[in-house]
Structure 1
Amino acid sequence: MIKLISSDLDGTILKNGAQELPAGFCDIVKRLKEKGIQFAAASGRQYYNLRLLFDPVKDDIHYIAENGSLCVCHNQVISKGLIERDLGFRIFKAVRERGGCHCLLSCESACYTDSKDPAFIRHILDVVRYDMRIVDRLEEITEPFLKIAVCDFSGTDNIMAYFQKMFEAEIKVVTSGMIWIDFIAPNANKGTALANLAEHLGVMPEECMAFGDQYNDVEMLKFAGTSYAMADCAPGISQYSTDVTDSVEDVLKRL
């Protein structure tokens, strides 16, 4: 019996760049809860933004935010992954030297950028609706670093190989949607966070279901006893899932 469902958002529940949940999705989550099935939103997005998206059920679900670097259960942080400050500083420097892309630093209280590009700032504040602070230099932030994201509006193909070559020996570098790559602490991913959440709730892996479409979902798909890759997922992702679907809602409605 499925007791815990964890789903990616962008490209999985949110299609074609959507920034709002499909109509009726929160009603599905409510019905699942009535049946004793818990739901976790698993995303590269920040915790604040996820609570906005799931506002009607924000206190009824769990959160795997920042691609697994922050896991929150009943408003309690149960696990987090941190990036060493020196490594973070070197990533900031590399982004500046590369040019043409923008850096977003995620911390527990907010996210920060030192980009002054108006289009990027509008995208984060008005489209994605993050709680973002603009600073002179990211190096001045004293909070622990949860995740570093880099945005290239022309697509990740232009930056993925570049940053992987520089940093993959020290930190996980993954795509997170069409225009983002994420630097994630080595011990943090959606699968580890889901495992921590399941253990906290007393749920076994075979009682978990997961949905995803990108490489940052692989560990989560592998952990869950039942898992679905989206039909339009990135190449190779479906080999890590037990099934394929083109609609999360259709699967959930059958439970």
Structure 2
Amino acid sequence: MISLNYAYFKYDFNATEEDFMIKLIATDMDGTLLDENGYLPQGFTDILNRLIAKNIKLVIASGRPYYTLQTNFGPVGRHLSYICENGALVVDDNKTIYKSVIDSNIVKQLIKESKSINGNATVLCSETCAYVERYSDAHLAEIKKYYTNLEFVDDLFNVNDEIIKVTFCNLENSLDNLNNIFKPKFAQELNVVGSGQIWIDVSNKGANKGVALKNLMDTDNILKEETMVFGDYYNDIEMLKQSDYSFVMKNAPEDMKQYGKYEAASNVEQGVLRAIVEYAL
């Protein structure tokens, strides 16, 4: 049984269940919906069935690719909508409704920059697979956690496919690389964001979770006051801004807390499910 009365309110809104007329719920995966071991919380399927019965759309918003998310959710996944690759790909009703392809010349610039950085592994993300070179076992172990359909190539410069996201994995200096290299050089023309402790994601400027969520909301004529959003990291900021009921997880970095109207219990405490039960069901 999922415990209620969990919420940590940042502001004294005196919110009650009646104040939340929710039609759409969007949640990040890692550090938000998933537990500390990367598993779906106990009771997820039951909560999903209850959402379906109330005609509330559940949107999974992740840096992960669609093919990995399909594996993560199995048969129940057909009832979900997906914001994939941090907003570069959107799937609704099991159909791709949006895809943002990065210019091939820009992709090559990113590859070149990454190859000059010690310990940096580059992943080129297409709609159907992720292209990688034969990196160290430690790098590949991390990459395989999120990209289940890998295509190994001798040289990423030779990849001929539509790339929707370029991801960099650095096991030691990801944050330094983000702030000192990739943002200064590419942030004016691209969306450059930290996506977890060891990841940097690069996509087109208009491709982020917030824009993707707004497109889904507009398609179904859903308003900000009818939307609930959960996130824990910097790639969730734009998405949190699209909702009047924005929840930042207790386990999020402290400087992320300013982007949520509410603070949810941690992912280890099933914070997402507990909030859904409390305010949407």
Indicate the TM-score class for this superposition, using the shorter chain for normalisation.
over 0.9
Amino acid at match of 1:184: S
Aligned to 2:85: 66
CA offsets per residue over residues 47-105 of structure 1, 9 Å max, x none?
11111111141100000000000010011111222211111101101111112011111
Q: 2:32 aligns with which of 3, 6, 12?
A: 12
CA offsets per residue over residues 9-31 of structure 1, 9 Å max, x none?
11111243x23212221221121
Aligned to 1:97: 116
Displacement of 1:129: 5.2
Q: 2:172 aligns with which of 133, 145, 154?
A: 154
Aligned to 1:137: 155
Is 1:166 aligned to residue 190 of structure 2?
A: no
Paired residues in the alignment total 253
Q: Gaps spanning 5+ residues in structure 2: where?
A: 1-20, 266-270
- Percent identical across equivalent pairs? 36
CA offsets per residue over residues 123-161 of structure 1, 9 Å max, x none?
333x33521111112222222110011011225223212
Q: 1:249 aligns with which of 263, 268, 273?
A: 273
- Matched residues in 2 for 1:91 and 1:142: separation? 15
Displacement of 1:111: 1.0
Q: Contact between 1:30 and 1:57, CA under 8 Å: does it hold in 2? A: no
Aligned to 1:213: 232
Aligned to 2:5: none
Q: 2:211 aligns with which of 172, 185, 192?
A: 192
Residue aligned with 2:29, SS: coil
Change (3 A) 1:183 1:52: same
- The Cα RMSD (Å) is 1.5
- Matched residues in 2 for 1:83 and 1:99: separation? 24
Q: Contact between 1:103 and 1:115, CA under 8 Å: does it hold in 2? A: no
Runs of 4 or more, structure 1, over 3 Å off, are none
Aligned to 2:70: 51
Structure showing greater Rg: 2
Residue aligned with 1:210, SS: strand
- Matched residues in 2 for 1:11 and 1:142: separation? 34
Amino acid at match of 1:209: M
CA offsets per residue over residues 187-216 of structure 1, 9 Å max, x none?
110010001111222322221110001111
- Matched residues in 1 for 2:223 and 2:99: separation? 21
Amino acid at match of 1:141: V
After alignment, is 112-121 or 175-184 more displaced? 112-121
Aligned to 1:223: 242
Amino acid at match of 1:79: Y
**RCO (CA 8 Å, sep 6+): is it higher in 1 or 2?**
2
Residue aligned with 2:228, SS: strand
Residue aligned with 2:33, SS: coil
Q: Contact between 2:210 and 2:241, CA under 8 Å: does it hold in 1? A: yes
TM superposition score normalised by structure 1: 0.94
